[in-house]
Structure 1
Amino acid sequence: MTEIQLSQEFSKEFATLQKRAEKGEGEAEYLLKLVGKGITKLVESREAGQKIQKRLWPKYYVQKYGISNLWRLRLDDYWRMIYTLLNGKIRIVAVILDVIDHKEYNKRFGYK
């Protein structure tokens, strides 16, 4: 089984998202539901997403997190969950780095 952690940055965004959802904001509720489904998929299989080739890794993630692998989980047609796997002797941890919309995904990965 895979343990799930949120990056410090995404943890803050997730808390804000929860507060917005509690206030009844439809988009926040929808995104929270998508993130929950994504986390469930990762718990069931750490390789639920697609592994991203190293040559395509944005410098942003390499510099900020010092990653050695990068994965993308498509949440729907518009939202993507970006994560990395940490492999210890006893456990495997999926660290969710970001949940970004398709426009930001294209920008961060240098797609036009």
Structure 2
Amino acid sequence: MNDKQIYVAFITPQLKQEFDSLNQGKFEDKKLYEFIDRATDDLKKDPTCGTKIKKQQWPKEYIKKYNITNLWKYDLPNAWRLIYTIESDEIKIMNIILEWFTHKEYEKRFNY
């Protein structure tokens, strides 16, 4: 059994602010806020509940900008995608949200 504390964070304060502002937006934004909020709850229970993305599919931008060693996709409702990475040490597991976007934007970012 894993006794490590599990956390979810956003890669930048700006991304966290974007997330928080969704709750103040129009109906669609509020729904997206709820979807992401539910995803963070799921990630706190099981960091690997998303789909692991193969290394050869990682956007070079993520490697350069964030120096990632793993990459995961969490499918949100309405064809939205949440992209995150996992970091851990002896005492904690940190799910770090990199971005979210529509499926179409996801396909473009990952060159599908």
- Moved segments of 4+, more than 3 Å: none
* Paired residues for 1:16-35 under 5 Å: 16-20=21-25, 25-35=26-36
Query: 1:18 Cα deviation (Å)?
Result: 2.7
TM-score normalised by structure 1 residue count: 0.89
Measured in 1, the distance between the counterparts of 2:21 and 2:63 equals 25
Query: 1:77 Cα deviation (Å)?
Result: 4.2
- Give the total of aligned pairs: 107
**RMSD between superposed Cα atoms in Å:** 1.2
Match of residue 5 from structure 1:
9
* Paired residues for 1:1-112 under 5 Å: 1-8=5-12, 9-20=14-25, 25-111=26-112
Query: 1:37 Cα deviation (Å)?
Result: 1.0
More moved, 5-14 vs 41-50: 5-14
Amino acid at match of 1:17: L
TM-score normalised by structure 2 residue count: 0.89
Identity %: 36
Query: 1:17 Cα deviation (Å)?
Result: 1.5
Is the CA contact (8 Å cut-off) linking 2:70 and 2:85 kept in structure 1?
yes
More moved, 73-82 vs 49-58: 73-82
